[in-house]
Amino acid sequence: MQKYINIGFIVALVALGFYIVRLQVFNGMQSVQLEINNQQGRIQSLSTNIKTIADFLNQQAELSAKQTKGQAPAPAAQQ
């Protein structure tokens, strides 16, 4: 009878060990998913900033080209 009790305890401990490992892996996966979501937000923000800068530079290039051709007035001198 003692042999079966010992086997039962061993099985219970192994099952508990698997459960704990599964919880750790699940929590780790949640942390990774949260970090991925944070990174996606940062990437979106950077993408928006890059688009804003590119639009500004394109406008400046167009203005410079127009000034070179004499189609636009030169900007006032800054003091």
CA distance 50 to 45: 9
Domain carrying residue 36: 25-59
Q: What is the pLDDT of residues 49-58, one digit of tens each?
A: 999 999 999 9
Instruction: Kindly state whether residue 40 falls inside one of the protein's structural domains.
Output: yes
Instruction: Kindly state whether residue 72 falls inside one of the protein's structural domains.
Output: no
Instruction: Kindly state whether residue 8 falls inside one of the protein's structural domains.
Output: no
Q: Which pTM does this prediction carry?
A: 0.54
Instruction: Kindly state whether residue 16 falls inside one of the protein's structural domains.
Output: no
Give the model's pLDDT for residue 72. 58
* Mean pLDDT of the region 40-50: 95
Instruction: Kindly state whether residue 34 falls inside one of the protein's structural domains.
Output: yes
72 within 8 A of 63, measured Cβ to Cβ? yes
Residue-level length of the chain: 79
Number of domains present in the structure of the chain: 1
18 within 8 A of 10, measured Cβ to Cβ? no
Q: Which two tokens stand for residue 53?
A: 């800068």
Distance of CA 36 to the CA centre of its chain: 5
**72: which DSSP letter?**
S
